[in-house]
Amino acid sequence: MNLNKSLTHIQEQVSPDSLTNSCSGDRCTVHLDDIPRKRVVIDVEKEFDARGESGKRCDRMLFYGNDAKKTFIAVPIELKSGKAKESEVREKLENSLKFAATIAPTRKESGETVYVPVLFDGRGINQTNPKSRRQLTVIFQGKPVRVLIGRCGRERNLANLLSKAGHL
């Protein structure tokens, strides 16, 4: 896997104004401690606006490589400083996963791309069906994908989620 080439490919697919160094926003702090330094972070809202796309989208998109597993990781991140509404989060992450797939490098260039949707909230999730299981999933490429859920502002919040899921 040529990580530098893959990250450059991502940067070339988006507006330079959409590139950022932070995954925080909307009064929700996301710490990048222990996240690989070779990474690309996109402000997805700015990118959708630059493309003239009006659909719902997540706040940030993180791309990095996992050399140990020879995978390229795409992480759409939705930020909610208060309580997150499940149906809205689901729609934003599904749209953002589709977007990530359009700009991700090919398997030949970067190895397998793994898509890991993440939600950071301040006060939990307002469940559509409170009696359902407490795990949030989205549909991507015809399959259910588990959403990793963390709290805004917690120390190492992103690294802890990605490590527990085996992506760091």
pLDDT in tens, 123-152: 766 555 544 446 789 999 999 999 999 999
| 154 φψ region: left (φ > 0), alpha (ψ -120 to 50), beta (else) | beta
For the entire predicted model, the pTM comes to 0.91
pLDDT of residue 85: 83
Read off the tokens for 65.
Answer: 């490589």
How deeply is 102 buried, as exposed, middle or buried, from its count of CB atoms within 10 A (0-12, 13-18, 19+)?
Answer: exposed
For residue 108, what are the β-bridge partners?
none
Pick out the chain residues at pLDDT < 70: 1, 109-110, 124-134
How deeply is 20 buried, as exposed, middle or buried, from its count of CB atoms within 10 A (0-12, 13-18, 19+)?
Answer: middle
* Angstrom distance (rounded) from CA 124 to CA 149: 9
* Angstrom distance (rounded) from CA 159 to CA 154: 11
pLDDT of residue 105: 84
| 160 φψ region: left (φ > 0), alpha (ψ -120 to 50), beta (else) | alpha
Locate the domains of the chain by residue range. 3-164
pLDDT of residue 20: 96
Amino acid at 147: V
How deeply is 81 buried, as exposed, middle or buried, from its count of CB atoms within 10 A (0-12, 13-18, 19+)?
Answer: middle
CA of residue 33 relative to chain centroid, distance? 16
pLDDT of residue 131: 46
pLDDT of residue 126: 58
